[in-house]
Amino acid sequence: MAKPNKKGPTKTIDIFCKRCNAPLFKYRKGGKGALVKCFKERIVEDATTTPCHCPQCEQPFARDTLVRGTPAYKFIGGKVWFK
């Protein structure tokens, strides 16, 4: 399969924890679909201290994985929201 475009889209979204509304990432998302995964190379700002855990409530919100050979975070359903 093809790798994701490194430059990626120019539109950024803010990703927040669903439980405590703490900001997690500022991310360059492409398309209009649901937020399922987050490629690490497209993260503009990272507010987390430990990977895949919320900095305020320490709840895990994602799993570290490889998608199409590229490092990514795969979000756990219902743990994050974005605008």
What's the confidence (pLDDT) of residue 31?
A: 86
Nearest to 17 by CA among 53, 65, 63: 53
What's the confidence (pLDDT) of residue 7?
A: 65
Gap between the Cα atoms of 80 and 75, Å rounded: 8
Q: How confident is the model at residue 18 (pLDDT cuts 50, 70, 90)?
A: very high
Section 10-28 average pLDDT: 95
Model pTM above 0.85:
yes
- Please give the structure tokens belonging to residue 14: 């803010």
pLDDT tens digits, one per residue of 21-80:
999 999 999 888 999 999 999 999 999 999 999 999 999 999 999 999 999 999 999 999
